[in-house]
Amino acid sequence: MRNFILFIRRFFNLILFLGVEIVCIVLIAHTNTMQGTDIVSSANTVAGILYKKQNDVVYYFGLRKMNDSLINENARLRKQIAGLKSVDTLKDTIVKKVIPSADTNRHIVHYADYLYRTAYVINNSVSAANNYITINRGSNDGITKDMAVLSGTGLVGLVVHVSPHFASVISILSIKQQVSAKLKDGTSSFVNWEGSKPDVMIMKDIPMQIKVKPGDSIFTTGYSLHIPGDILIGTVFKLEYVKKNNMQILSLHPSTNFRNLQYVYVAGNKMAEERKQLEDSVKSKP
């Protein structure tokens, strides 16, 4: 108490001055004078700025939750879209839903049924010869080796190692990785990374008669056991003609921004095991 009284005595004049100033400002602000209007306007401006800053801070710290919500919603939509595609084995056409039929020779089956799981990237490289990504999902979350990994904009890579809580993904930016790819007209080949720039990939052996132009999109073929079809790989930005074999070499910009990769989807083909068993049985026959 004694220290408080000493403080008041020491700064009495300053405290009195500030008190009188505050009373004067309040009195002026409550009048209709020009000065009062200016004070109220300035106060409203300052309050508005403070509220905006507060809202920006709250929005920033809520971005993680918003991103998690959006990526989960996208995974749900991807699964729903995959479930809409099926094959009518009598007409050999793709239909949008399963149609009941009394005809025992007619079966409408899903040709691929992918389950999409969301994951967060916790480690990523783009400068090595073979680049790997670590995600925060593992075997406890249903992740297995060879599952495809996608971003919101295109293909990322394949799962190569799995632990209970984490998984390692080999990126398509790896010299030992090649992706079965196709042009918009269905012409297929392979897309490779040559180990130089993380924003340049190569697609070779495209016949000269195939019309390709910068800006064309390159997609996955769906031939792979684990990679869904029609996933964007990249877009053409340069063409090189090789006269000795009448082929074209296409340079692509990957559709995925590997320098800023945060959220991914892990796609698991529910019919992969059945297809693998069938293909293995054919290979084992003389």
What is the tens place of the pLDDT at every residue in 172-220? Answer: 999 988 999 999 889 999 999 988 888 999 999 999 999 999 999 999 9
Helices (H), strands (E): how many in the chain? 5, 15
Residue-by-residue DSSP string for 203-221: EEEEETTS---TT-EEEE-
Q: What is the pLDDT of residue 283?
A: 77
C-alpha closest to that of 213 among 179, 181, 247, 252:
252
Provide, rounded to the nearest whole percent, the portion of the chain with pLDDT above 70: 66
So where are the chain's domains?
Answer: 2-61, 67-111, 112-284
Residues 228-266: tens digit of each pLDDT: 888 999 999 999 998 888 899 999 999 999 988 888 889
CA triple 128-131-137, angle to 5 deg: 150
**Distance, CA of 139 to CA of 168 (rounded, Å):** 11
112-284 to CATH, choices 3.40.50.720, 2.40.10.340, 3.50.50.60, 2.160.10.10 = 2.40.10.340
Contacts of 253 (CB under 8 A, 6+ apart): 199, 200, 201, 234, 235, 237
**How high is the pLDDT of residue 271?**
82
Tokens at 70, concatenated: 């959006």
Q: Please tell me the pTM assigned to this model.
A: 0.65
